Chain A
Amino acid sequence: GALVYQYPRRTICKSGTSMRMECQAVGFQATSVAWYRQSPQKTFELIALSTVNSAIKYEQNFTQEKFPISHPNLSFSSMTVLNAYLEDRGLYLCGARGVDNTLYFGAGTRLSVL
């Protein structure tokens, strides 16, 4: 079956530092990857859409300078949160789109900022 692994599951970083999270699609080829954030007590916001060999599209309020994404092949993507502050805390989900056009999500990386 289609599985998406995210690493790490939890991370804590000091305010002003950066952290990188990874997303791995297993058992299928992910034609595109979407990164979402769920801030405390909120729903999921789309950060960016990434398709291999295409430009990454960031949503309003999210920028490449703050959330650089790497998507080198059909099974792997990573995103870094640069200069993290309290408002960046939350659950970061990676969704990988399969050929059936369904978005399969990983369990997420939970970011806490001290």
Chain B
Amino acid sequence: AQSVTQPDARVTVSEGASLQLRCKYSYSGTPYLFWYVQYPRQGLQLLLKYYSGDPVVQGVNGFEAEFIKSNSSFHLRKASVHWSDSAVYFCAVSPASSSFSKLVFGQGTSLSVVP
């Protein structure tokens, strides 16, 4: 069975600083990987996804993530954060053999961007 670990429950960064949110997954097969964001009192919005090819994927709002197979990681990065990036970020994995709908989510990382 697959699982996702986001080791940092909360992260605080200053506006304009760089950001990395960590994600490690456990799955023996070929994974599809996703990052979603949940703004306060809202549902989930897709930031980016990795299916295959270039391990560095670009997403919306300047976010990117790098798939490192040897490390089973899919960390999310942003060069310069804005206060509006404050939200909860979820990493998710889906088996390549599945219908893509069966996502397994991490516990989420709550990001606070301070002045």
Instruction: Write the residues of chain A forming the contact surface with B, with a CB cutoff of 8 angstroms.
Output: 6, 32-34, 36, 42-44, 46, 49, 51, 91, 93, 95, 97, 101-108
Contacts and interface: CB of A to CB of B under 8 A. Distances in A.
B105 A43 contact: yes
25 contacts: A6-B43, A32-B101, A33-B101, A34-B101, A34-B102, A42-B107, A43-B107, A44-B90, A44-B105, A46-B102, A46-B104, A49-B99, A95-B101, A95-B103, A101-B100, A102-B46, A102-B100, A103-B46, A104-B46, A105-B44, A105-B46, A106-B43, A107-B42, A107-B43, A108-B42
B89 to A, nearest CB: 12
Interface in B75-115: 90, 99-108
B45 interface: yes
B38 to A, nearest CB: 8
Given A6-B43, A91-B43, A102-B46, A46 B103 contact: yes
A93 B44 contact: yes
Nearest to A30: B101
A95 B105 CA distance: 13
Contacts of B43: 6, 91, 93, 105-108
Given A43-B108, A46-B102, A105 B49 contact: no
Q: Is the interface of B mostly helix, strand, loop or mixed?
A: loop
Contacts of A105: 36, 43-46
Most buried by B among A36, A44, A93, A105: A44
A103 B103 contact: yes
B101 A49 contact: yes
A105 B102 CA distance: 13
Interface in B27-79: 32, 34, 36, 42-46, 49, 51
